[in-house]
Structures are given as structure tokens and as C-alpha cells.
Amino acid sequence: MRKIRIGTRASRLALWQAEFVAAQLRRFFPALEVEIVKVHTTGDKILDAPLAKIGGKGLFTKELELQLAAGAIDLAVHSLKDVPNALPEGFKLAAITRRAQPFDAFVSNAFPTFASLPMGSVVGTSSLRRAAQVLALRPDLVIKNLRGNVETRLRKLNAGDFDAIILAAAGLERLGYSSRINELLTQIIPAAGQGALAIETRTDDDETFSLVQSLNDAATSAAVAIEREFLAEVGGSCQIPVGVFATIDGGQVHVKALIASTDGQHVVRASEVAPLGEIDLGKKIAARLLKAGGRDILNGLA
């Protein structure tokens, strides 16, 4: 290929991610011409309602897939945690990049740590997963919805709308805001795929698929495949509070997962260490959690 067109959302973080993929492609293929095409998605336009109430993750990918289908772009770059578990027919995840920081970040101007927040403090997040786990740890806190790009969220914190906010550490680090991270919340289980980038292509475009294979990280791909398998089994989306995180150490896979009620009062957890390559590991952990009370929690959310 002489030229490739990368589709991306128009936010600063999404453009950083697209530029990162473009730079990697140029490194492997110096003669390749790379063009970045900005696409405005529904999820970026509707910012006054919780994502879970307006349609979920597909709001960030649908318009990009329409451009892919039309041939206006050759690939789309996403934050993997924003990609629905089931892709529409005709599309596939061709590559997953090496995972960056997977955990959520605690950010506050007045309080150095999550534990130091006074009773009744207002915490901003757009994620049911984060909100449920925060309330499970600190039921005395008040959760308020916070949407928008990274800069918007930081601006609302600086304006005094919140005592603290919680967002993905990877996004802050990628945009040069590492100094704003007070604490990594390793006690909160991340979203499936958090910290990794996904490259989506058409299933009939073998040339682009072959090209982006140079960007695929095998260890990250294996880990997030387990996470997304778990998510598929529990019916996970941004509309239910679930978390799952897999890491690979040598020949072992370490997985921890959670299903919670939105108020954090009911939480079931599971962890597993298994040989790398164990069949249906994500499904097995999901089945354990559902049997241990997760199904009752999910039924209560319906």
C-alpha cells in the first residue's frame, strides 16, 4: 500500500491515539503515506447525559464504521474499552497495541488520596463501573455524572464542581497530565481492554489487515481476549457495573473480575490463576460470578 487513511474521533486524546498508530506504521513502513481523517461521533456530541442512558459504547464507534464501510477510511483507531463486544458484520479488530497504564486515576485539587476525602465529598465519573466500586469502598461519598473529554473534566474539577474526579490514567498520561494524578486506584478493577488501543478494519480488506499486524502486541491481545470473553458472557456493557483485568506473567494468566450493583452495596468478586492458553477462561470466571450472586445483581438492574 502507498497510502492509508486512519479514522478517528476528533478529541485531543483520540487524535493522540491516531497519531501514535500513524507513527508506528511509518516506523515499520517508511514509504507509506498516512492520512488522519477526523470523524465526529454521536458519543462526542451528547454530553449532558450518562453514557449508559443514551446508547452505550457503540455511540463512539458507529460513525467510524460507516466511514469504513464506505471506503472513506481504511482503519479506525479506538480505545479498546470503548469498543462494543460484538462488532457489526463486516468488521474485525485487526490489532491490539501494547497496553499502557490500565488503572483508574484519582484526581483532586484539595485531597491527596482517595482515603483522605471527607465524608460527603462529591466525586465525578461517567462510569457505572467506577461509581459502583467507589461506593462499595466509600458509601459516604456522593457520585455525580461527569462527561466530556479529559480537558473538560479537569476544567470542571478546577471550577469546584467536584471534590475529586476519577478517569483512566492512560488518557491523562498520553496527554501530558501525569502530574495531575494523585493516586492510581489499583483497588478498582478496570474496564475490559482499558489502556489498550484497538485497530478496526473491514473483514474483506486483507491488505490493511496484514499491514497493521506489525502493531499487534501478542501478550496484550491474549489478556484482553479473556477480558472481552468474560464481558460477552455476562452481557457486559457500559450499562452494567462490571470490571475485569487479566495479566500474563510467564506462562500464567492472572485474572480478577467483579459484578456490582450500581449503589455498590452488592458486589461479587472472583480471581483466578491459570495456564496461558486455557480454553474459555473468561467464560469460566463469568460463570462463577453469575452463580455466586452476579446473576441476581444483573437481574436487579434490568
Please name the residues in contact with 103: beta carbons below 8 A apart, sequence gap of 6 or more: 169, 184, 185, 186, 188, 190, 194, 195
Whether residues 259 and 243 share a domain: the answer is yes
pLDDT tens digits along 66-80: 999 999 999 999 999
Planar angle of CA 155, 174, 188, nearest 5 degrees: 80
Strand order in the sheet with 252-260: 242-249, 252-260, 267-275
Whether 150 is in a domain gets the answer: yes
pTM of the complete model: 0.91
Q: Are strands 183-185 and 104-107 parallel, antiparallel or unpaired?
A: antiparallel
Whether 260 is in a domain gets the answer: yes
Distance of alpha carbon 110 from alpha carbon 117, whole angstroms = 9
Whether residues 212 and 246 share a domain: the answer is no
Catalytically annotated residue among 44, 74, 82, 163: 82
The yes-or-no answer on residue 82 being catalytic is yes
Whether residues 131 and 163 share a domain: the answer is yes
The domain that contains 70 carries what CATH number? 3.40.190.10
Whether residues 73 and 136 share a domain: the answer is no
**Secondary structure letter of residue 253 according to DSSP:** E
Distance of alpha carbon 268 from alpha carbon 96, whole angstroms = 29
Whether 270 is in a domain gets the answer: yes
Planar angle of CA 277, 57, 202, nearest 5 degrees: 65
Smallest Cα–Cα separation from 257: which of 80, 86, 98, 129?
Answer: 129
Whether residues 87 and 114 share a domain: the answer is no
Whether residues 139 and 281 share a domain: the answer is no
Quote the domain boundaries for residue 133.
104-185
Q: How far is CA 191 from CA 26, 74, 206, 288, in A?
A: 30, 27, 30, 19
- Say if residues 165 and 125 touch (Cβ distance below 8 Å): yes
The total of other beta-carbon atoms located within 10 Å of residue 215's CB is 19
- Say if residues 189 and 243 touch (Cβ distance below 8 Å): yes
Whether residues 91 and 201 share a domain: the answer is yes
Whether 190 is in a domain gets the answer: no
**Secondary structure letter of residue 7 according to DSSP:** E
Whether residues 89 and 15 share a domain: the answer is yes
Phi, psi of 205 (to 5 degrees): -105, 80
How many domains are contained in the chain? 3
Whether 223 is in a domain gets the answer: no
Whether residues 34 and 173 share a domain: the answer is no
Whether residues 147 and 32 share a domain: the answer is no
Whether 43 is in a domain gets the answer: yes
In the chain, which ranges are E strands? 3-8, 33-38, 75-79, 91-96, 104-107, 122-125, 142-145, 164-168, 183-185, 197-202, 242-249, 252-260, 267-275
Whether residues 10 and 93 share a domain: the answer is yes
Whether 191 is in a domain gets the answer: no
Whether 85 is in a domain gets the answer: yes
Q: What is the pLDDT along the chain (302 residues), one digit of tens a residue?
A: 689 999 999 999 999 999 999 999 999 999 999 999 999 876 555 545 555 554 455 667 889 999 999 999 999 999 999 898 889 999 999 999 999 999 999 999 999 999 999 999 999 998 999 999 999 999 999 999 998 899 999 999 999 999 999 999 999 999 999 999 999 999 999 999 999 999 999 999 999 999 999 999 999 999 999 999 999 999 866 678 999 999 999 899 999 999 999 999 999 999 999 999 999 999 999 999 999 999 999 988 86
Whether residues 207 and 238 share a domain: the answer is no
Please name the residues in contact with 20: beta carbons below 8 A apart, sequence gap of 6 or more: 97, 174, 197
The domain that contains 273 carries what CATH number? 3.30.160.40
pLDDT tens digits along 162-181: 999 999 999 999 999 999 99
